[in-house]
Amino acid sequence: MSGKTGLNFLFSKITTGTDSVSTGKSTSNDYDFALGAGYFIAQDVSIAISGTYSYNYSKVQQGYLTSGTQNITQSLTIVPQVQYFFPVYGKLRPSAAAGAGYTWLRQRDSRVMENYNKVYELSGVSLYGGLGETYFVSRAVSFDLGLQYSYTQLKDKLGSGQKQKQSQFAATMGVSVYF
């Protein structure tokens, strides 16, 4: 059995203009929370489930006379996966993982006046694959490095016909604890 968590915060503020005049400001706040757990079902094979919740708030103001626009994007992804650790001698073990799950995403914009400012609400399938190296410090703790690719195809639940495809490539690192 293993578990992992992640928590990310990002705050940014951008001011645009010339040397003497500010023409616009934008602020952004991002929060991500990830949680996962896995279980070894056989020698070198584990099954796991992970979930990620993301929240992004941004505000853009152009000039001094406009009130600006506000945008909120929320997403939730849940992905079951299987991971295989290649049987090599030593504490450093290469691994491969694959999974398929579900993603929900909602965006609100202050310029949209109907439907509680919703621009769209999307959901659909998420596919995931990754390769990595795991260094087992002990039987209960490991350090993990990896490369991940994910693909998500979402459709609008509000009936507008909006579709969104996302492809992401990431380098990852973390610590795993095994019970």
pLDDT of residue 65: 56
pLDDT of residue 126: 95
Q: What is the largest CA-CA distance in the chain?
A: 67
* Across 133-155, average pLDDT: 90
Name the percent of the chain in helix, strand, coil, to the closest 5.
0, 80, 20
Instruction: Please say if the pLDDT value at position 2 is more than 70.
Output: no
pTM of the model: 0.75
Handedness of CA 133, 174, 82, 105 (dihedral sign): negative
Domain ranges of the chain: 2-16+24-178
Burial track 155-170 (b if 16+ CB lie within 10 A, e otherwise): ebbeeeeeeeeeeeee
Per residue in 24-58, pLDDT (tens digit) is: 777 888 888 888 888 889 988 999 999 999 988 88
Per residue in 6-29, pLDDT (tens digit) is: 777 777 777 766 666 666 777 888
User: What number does CATH give the domain 2-16+24-178?
Assistant: 2.40.160.20
Per residue in 57-75, pLDDT (tens digit) is: 888 776 665 567 788 888 9
3 state SS of 115:
helix
